[in-house]
Amino acid sequence: MDRKKMILKLMAEPKYVAMKEKELAVLLQVKKEDRGELRAILDELTEEKKISISKRGKYSLYREEKVIGVYRQTMQGFGFVEVEEEREDFFIPQGMALNAMHGDRVEIKELRKSHGRRREAEVINVVERALNTIVGTYERSRNHYGFVVPDNARLDQDIFIPVERSKGAMDGHKVLVEILDYGSPGKSPEGKVIEILGHITDPGVDILSVIKGYNIEVEFPEKVLNQVEKTADEISERDLKGREDLRELKLFTIDGEDSKDLDDAVSILREGENYLLGVHIADVSAYVKEGSALDKEALKRGTSVYLVDRVVPMLPRRLSNGICSLNENEDRLALSCLMTIDKKGNVIDHRIVETVIRSKKRMTYTAVNAILEDEDKAIMEEYGDFCDDLKLMGELAAILRAKRKKRGSIDFDLDEAKIILDEKGHAIDVKAYERNTATRLIEEFMLIANETVAEHFYWLKTPFVYRIHEDPESEKMRKLASFIGNFGYGIRIKGDEIHPKELQKLLVKCEGKPEENLISRLTLRAMQRAKYSTECLGHFGLSCDFYCHFTSPIRRYPDLLIHRIIKESLHQKLNEKRLGHYEKILPDICKSTSRSERTADEAEREVDKLKKAEYMQDKIGEVYEGVISGLTNWGIYVELDNTVEGLVHISKLEGHYTYNEDSYELIDFEKGKKYTLGQKVKIRVNSVDMTLRSVDFLME
């Protein structure tokens, strides 16, 4: 029988379940030397739309059905649609997006014409709008009507504002606009001004515009604040019922100098050759009850948002900075994960218990790092006998880190930006923020607690919220392998799979080299995005089978939800009704909190871009050394040591350059000159566009 027909017949069987190439090869008894032929057949059948392949690389019969996904527009006018369960995004050429805007859920139709190997499609219907409001700058015309130029550069059409709907806005006002008509090809969207945020030059209006643009709620509803007002400022004897009293245990918090919501504390003891590590997390669920106004608002927000000059909290500050914060020398309710860890870093015993605790010291990363790294005598004197605990913690953290490294866990030591503002909110300095021994110590303890809790509940087989990080797509890994070959590095890909240890080894090899930051970023981009799921699918980046978010219920809703499940389990209240309840609500909560996290990340990046551009405004004409961080058909992206990234537009380069996607090079074939990723270059700051939040460079 023809092999194509055999495969189609197999997939048509009622009992057939979607399989990966390797599983099909075993089932069809394909010899190793014939695997390439099998792959070619599968590729042909996929191209012919007789079979389809999911994001996880599993094959099944092609079924004509509605294809719905999220539209992501680029600043260049074209876009992509992300479809769940699809391995790659659909490319939407310019002019084929109907009137879809960035973030909309859309229905698409695949086009027969293909651009290379990339699948192209057109938007045929907008299923759900992501935005009903946008933020932008009002521009008044001579005819009295106006337009609002969106701040979001991905929204490439101005919004028409009739004069009677302008709310008296003047030129240069930042405004919040409600969209009344999304327009159509040849017709602008139309809206009305619902709030004037201030003039573009007013202090704080820039960041407020980003907050409003991402629909991030700053103020809490009155109903929520009224509920919080009724919350006690201190715990009572009644609160202690059934809790393990750990108030005499020497535990403490370690956080940044500016932190006010202290949701985790740690403790350590030595027992023979073993370590008794306690990770104590604020019991926020004791104050945020399921179904309350406060709970609904927390779910709606999903996460706290950390911007350069402020935090937009998930919970009102009276809770997050008050009764839920593990403040020094104050009794607090907690959920504690108490672990016995052997000298090899294995958790040989653990308990998860409701406790009452009292933090003995409010420590900072800076001070702890000075003790562990520099043995600073003045600080060691101030911290007294806590120093012994810190040294024991440092010892355990090193063991846990070595164990993670051995199994292949990947650490991305990427430079993050620390942006310094003056009293008016203007950026006066931008520098790379580096993690230190103290931050890594807390990271290790939070990681091991999260793993322990996740594994505990996996084996209980109760509905749960896991933090998952799926295996990267093989095509992206092959592209990465091709690129790093230019630097003399390599990664081993077996079939369609790669072990995280391969990426870990790559990052270790390039450590301290000029290309380290670039390779780290490209490796990160080639991987999937972590998300929340009811399925325990493991965490590729951490190279572990079980992982969840348990340690930050003040600022992440999934952690708060996990605490509720833990407490119901401890009190044996997870009866059939409650299990059914969680099975029903958890999938949607996983999706909504994953979306909230993505929105927060985008808003945080947008504010960083804004403030970096602002900082560079008075640096025009100055010369810097940087590294080429990106190459495109429209130019060269260069990243400076302080993490600021700018574009050298292709029109500003001497010569005729073409981008070679296969070799990641911009080449002038006439003169033979080329630019490659990771190459060190000198640039001059040419201009700054605050509307686009972009910086333009010139090559020196």
Q: According to the per-residue pLDDT averaged within each range, which of 68-72, 526-530, 532-536 is highest?
A: 532-536
Q: Is residue 647 part of a domain?
A: yes
Nearest to 620 by CA among 695, 699, 700: 695
CA separation, residue 150 to residues 97, 140, 213, 588, 692 (Å): 18, 14, 9, 31, 10
**Mean pLDDT on 128-133:** 90
CATH number, domain containing residue 22: 1.10.10
- Residues 323 and 338 reside in one and the same domain: yes
Q: What is the pLDDT of residue 637?
A: 94
- Residues 523 and 447 reside in one and the same domain: no
Q: Which long-range contacts (CB under 8 A, 24 or more apart) does 127-132 make?
A: 127/68, 128/104, 129/101, 129/104, 129/179, 129/182, 130/70, 130/101, 130/102, 130/103, 130/104, 130/105, 131/101, 131/102, 131/103, 131/104, 131/179, 131/215, 132/178, 132/179
Residue 413 has pLDDT above 80, yes or no: no
240-281 pLDDT per residue, tens:
999 999 999 999 999 998 888 899 999 999 999 999 999 999
Q: What is the pLDDT of residue 112?
A: 62
Instruction: Quote the CA–CA distance of 613 and 464 in Å, as a whole number.
Output: 42
Domain boundary among 128, 160, 177: 128
- Residues 234 and 357 reside in one and the same domain: yes
Q: Is residue 208 part of a domain?
A: no
Residue 381 has pLDDT above 60, yes or no: yes
Q: Which two tokens stand for residue 232?
A: 């006690």
**Mean pLDDT on 19-46:** 85
| Helix/strand/coil for 436 | coil
Characterise 243 by phi-psi region: left (phi > 0), alpha (psi -120 to 50), beta (else). beta
- Amino acid residing at 34: D
Q: Is residue 212 part of a domain?
A: no
Which helix (H) or strand (E) covers residue 615, if one does? Answer: helix 576-616
**Pairing state between β 347-358 and 244-245:** parallel
Specify the residue for token string 């907690």: 334
Instruction: Quote the CA–CA distance of 95 and 179 in Å, as a whole number.
Output: 21
Q: What predicted TM-score, i.e. pTM, was given to this entire model?
A: 0.84
Residue 212 has pLDDT above 60, yes or no: yes
Residue 171 has pLDDT above 60, yes or no: yes
Buried b (16+ CB within 10 A) or exposed e, 378-388: ebbeebeebbe
Q: How confident is the model at residue 387 (pLDDT cuts 50, 70, 90)?
A: very high
The whole-chain average pLDDT of the chain stands at: 90
CA separation, residue 552 to residues 118, 251, 555 (Å): 40, 17, 6
Residue 430 has pLDDT above 80, yes or no: yes
Query: What secondary structure does DSSP assign to 568-596, as a single string?
Result: HHHTT---HHHHHHHHHHHHHHHHHHHHH
Residue 415 has pLDDT above 80, yes or no: no
Specify the residue for token string 């509905």: 463
Tally the C-alpha atoms within 13 A of residue 632's C-alpha that lie toward its C-beta.
13
Residue 116 has pLDDT above 60, yes or no: no
Q: Is residue 20 part of a domain?
A: yes
- Residues 327 and 458 reside in one and the same domain: yes
Q: pLDDT over 90 for what percent of the chain?
A: 62
Q: What is the pLDDT of residue 141?
A: 85
594: phi then psi, degrees, rounded to nearest 5: -65, -40
- Residues 433 and 357 reside in one and the same domain: yes
Residue 1 has pLDDT above 60, yes or no: no
- Residues 111 and 155 reside in one and the same domain: no
Specify the residue for token string 């970023």: 521
Instruction: Quote the CA–CA distance of 158 and 192 in Å, as a whole number.
Output: 12
**Mean pLDDT on 42-64:** 81
* Cβ–Cβ < 8 Å for 281, 553: yes
CATH number, domain containing residue 196: 2.40.50.700
Instruction: Quote the CA–CA distance of 440 and 369 in Å, as a whole number.
Output: 10
653-678 pLDDT per residue, tens:
988 888 877 667 888 888 888 898 88
**3-state SS, one letter per residue, for 259-292:** CCCCCEEEEEEEECCEEEEEEEEECHHHCCCCCC
Domain boundary among 607, 634, 655: 607
Q: How far is CA 50 from its chain centroid?
A: 36
Instruction: Quote the CA–CA distance of 552 and 560 in Å, as a whole number.
Output: 8
Query: What secondary structure does DSSP assign to 401-419, as a single string?
Result: HHHHHHHT-------EEEE
Q: Sign of dihedral through CA atoms 67, 68, 69, 70? A: positive
Tally of domains within the chain: 6
- Residues 585 and 463 reside in one and the same domain: yes
Residue 395 has pLDDT above 60, yes or no: yes
Q: Is residue 216 part of a domain?
A: no
Which helix (H) or strand (E) covers residue 366, if one does? Answer: helix 365-369
Q: Is residue 614 part of a domain?
A: no
Q: Is residue 436 part of a domain?
A: yes
- Residues 166 and 232 reside in one and the same domain: no
327: phi then psi, degrees, rounded to nearest 5: -70, 150
Beta-carbon contacts of 400 under 8 Å, excluding residues fewer than 6 positions away, are 341, 345, 444, 445, 447, 448
CATH number, domain containing residue 689: 2.40.50.140
Q: What is the pLDDT of residue 3?
A: 78
| Helix/strand/coil for 32 | helix
Query: What secondary structure does DSSP assign to 199-258, as a single string?
Result: ETTSTTHHHHHHHHHTT---SPPHHHHHHHHTS-SS--TGGGTT-EE-TTS-EEEEE-TT
- Residues 156 and 28 reside in one and the same domain: no
- Residues 499 and 363 reside in one and the same domain: no
Specify the DSSP class assigned to residue 322: I
- Residues 183 and 228 reside in one and the same domain: no
- Residues 488 and 537 reside in one and the same domain: no
Q: pLDDT over 70 for what percent of the chain?
A: 97
481-492 pLDDT per residue, tens:
888 887 888 998
Specify the DSSP class assigned to residue 158: P
**Mean pLDDT on 429-455:** 93
Residue 55 has pLDDT above 70, yes or no: no
Domain span at residue 99 reads 67-128
Instruction: Quote the CA–CA distance of 301 and 694 in Å, as a whole number.
Output: 29
Is 342 or 215 the better-scoring residue by pLDDT?
342
Q: Which two tokens stand for residue 284?
A: 């926020």
Specify the residue for token string 């086009």: 111
